Amino acid sequence: MSEYLLTLLVVIPLIGALVAVVWPSHRLRDLRAITAGTLVLELLVGVLLYTSFNPSLPGLQLTESVDWITLPLGTLGTVSIDYALGVDGISMPLVLLALVVLLIGAISSWNIDKRPRAYFPLYLLLSSSVVGCFLAQDLFLFYLFFEFMLLPMYFLIGLWGGPRREYAAIKFFIYTFLGSLLILVVMIGLYLSAIDPVETAVAAGLAADVSAVTSDHLFMLREFLSSGRVAPSNAVHTFRFEYLADAANYLPQSMLSPDSSLHLMGVPIRLLAFWLLFIGFAVKLPVVPVHTWLPDAHVEAPTPVSVVLAGILLKIGGYGFIRIVDGFFPAEALHSAVPLAVLGMISIVYGGFNALAQYDYKKMIAFSSVSHMGFVLLGIASLTPEGINGAIYQMVSHGVLSAMLFLLVGVIYDRTHDRRIDHYRGLIGPMPRYTVLTGVAFFASLGLPGFSGFIGELFTLMGAFRADYLPIWIPALSTLGIVLAAAYFLWTYQRMYFGQLWYRHEQQPSLLSDLTPWEIGLLLPLAILAFLLGILPGLIFTISGPTVEAWLENLL
């Protein structure tokens, strides 16, 4: 059973989507239970995955690999694409986060009555794609999952969103699609430059088959490559992460090999490829100035889609920075650490000031996400154990807290169809439980010690201060983001929840009813999780620490 856990995580939502599509039309209300049940099963498989995972081992675990596409191209060599899945300390926390947030989003979709036969299959397709991104160990496979997310998210925003949903959906699609095209360009360059050493050793006649390849064969192959004794027709090109991250697997003087002397307009081709990849993932994170799609998408998206968008999809950008951008271009990452850290700092401060200026509750939280994801980029740019672990922790923490925040916005919007912060005052009177849980989410998000937000920000800043090649003013200015977070969260909390009760539409005070047991059941687990992660950071660091340490040793 454990041999196919990762495939099950990808396939279960696809099966659920197929069931939802063919479900009888006179029983469409069952689609809610089918979707929720599918993702409960997915979470149970995730628990089994967690129990099968050994956090003390830094490498990939529970791997699955099957030759998928093998295409001989004559003198151009052979195309080799694998169905390869795996999980390690970097991806495991994000997989678990995805399973939790996707289930929360599915349950919060219970009131979706518009075109349920389309909504719930699309949601399940999105779930499969998101999980697949964190599990894929072949760049071609990763790109398929990455691209396939666009389609369901585009329709989920464009069909079930607010008044400007078409504009928000198109803007989201264009930004993300253009970013993915930049990733595709670099992906092709990497494919042309790197080889699968095991299959190439067999093709070059050094071993009888793949199972017979030894370390001596690989050493001999590298000598043959350096001396030009391997014919181009024998080169088996690959997209596998493990091979693309190893400089020894690049053809000498190929386009993107570490020893490449190619320049484009005076810029080394590898440095240009690094920045193209960075921009592609920066759109997804997002990083200022390619962030403008996010506030529009959040404002127009229905609450469950905002939960998934903020809780999970943004994290694929951060994961891509660690696994692909820095993993494949370590020298360029070190060379570009200062501008990357500056971009992280700008995102932190710019997102904070914009959040402070908002009167739309949902847009305020959207800009707070830009600020909090800036800490992720700052931690990654530090290239220190504290910074990378802090970035992973911050992604998990923000995934939990942003899901909770958007659910809280959805509560008030479902009742009044009004998100203006200045249209409410004194909500603690009619909505005390709602006020308490909002306070938990706000204080956790602004970095109060004892909650997960504090740990993530602390470690990313520690990593940035420790990095010898980062000027101290970058993390010092980044701390302004914590002050701004306190300002916009506390201002919103004081403005909406305390004082004498007032609502702009005073003729409808009955709308301001407190949380239902169903809503408490959605919000309370997230609040508890934010608290547990805050007081027990080892829940994440125990998983990520050994892998990050080994990853940095190989990187630097």
pLDDT tens digits for range 264-302: 888 899 999 999 999 999 999 999 999 999 999 988 999
Ranges of H-type helices in 136-164: 139-148, 150-160
What is d(CA 340, CA 361) in angstroms, rounded to the nearest whole number?
30
Arithmetic mean of pLDDT, 323-335: 94
- Structural contact between residues 478 and 400, judged by C-beta atoms closer than 8 angstroms: no
The per-residue pLDDT for 143 is: 96
In this structure, is residue 403 part of a structural domain? yes
In this structure, is residue 504 part of a structural domain? yes
In this structure, is residue 329 part of a structural domain? no
The per-residue pLDDT for 507 is: 54
Q: Burial code of 288-309, b = ≥16 C-beta within 10 A, e = fewer?
A: bebbebbbbbbbbbbbbbbbbb
The per-residue pLDDT for 213 is: 84
In this structure, is residue 308 part of a structural domain? no
Whether residue 418 has pLDDT greater than 60: yes
Residues in Cβ contact with 189 at an 8 Å cutoff, skipping those fewer than 6 apart: 255, 256, 269, 273
Arithmetic mean of pLDDT, 216-226: 81
The per-residue pLDDT for 79 is: 87
Confidence band, pLDDT 50/70/90 cuts, at residue 25: confident
What is d(CA 120, CA 114) in angstroms, rounded to the nearest whole number?
10
The per-residue pLDDT for 435 is: 96
Whether residue 397 has pLDDT greater than 90: yes
In this structure, is residue 442 part of a structural domain? yes
Per-residue pLDDT tens digits for 460-505 = 999 999 998 899 999 999 999 999 999 999 999 999 999 888 888 7
- Which residues of 379-499 form beta strands (DSSP E)? 424-425
Arithmetic mean of pLDDT, 91-107: 96
Arithmetic mean of pLDDT, 334-338: 94
Which amino acid, 433? R
Per-residue pLDDT tens digits for 46-73 = 999 999 999 999 889 999 999 998 888 8
Whether residue 509 has pLDDT greater than 80: no
In this structure, is residue 456 part of a structural domain? yes
Angle of CA points 393, 39, 298, to nearest 5°: 60
Whether residue 337 has pLDDT greater than 60: yes
Query: What is the span of the domain harbouring residue 347?
Result: 336-556
Whether residue 120 has pLDDT greater than 80: yes
Place of tokens 């009813």: 513
Percent of the chain with pLDDT over 70: 99
Whether residue 41 has pLDDT greater than 90: yes
To the nearest whole number, what is the mean pLDDT of the chain? 92
Q: Hey, CA dihedral for 150, 152, 154, 156, is it positive or negative? A: negative
In this structure, is residue 422 part of a structural domain? yes
- Structural contact between residues 217 and 202, judged by C-beta atoms closer than 8 angstroms: no
Arithmetic mean of pLDDT, 33-58: 94
In this structure, is residue 102 part of a structural domain? no
Confidence band, pLDDT 50/70/90 cuts, at residue 206: confident
What is d(CA 48, CA 255) in angstroms, rounded to the nearest whole number?
43
What is d(CA 25, CA 285) in angstroms, rounded to the nearest whole number?
38
Q: How many domains does the chain have?
A: 1
Whether residue 327 has pLDDT greater than 70: yes
Confidence band, pLDDT 50/70/90 cuts, at residue 77: confident
**Which of 118-122, 500-504, 509-513 is predicted most confidently?**
118-122
The per-residue pLDDT for 72 is: 85
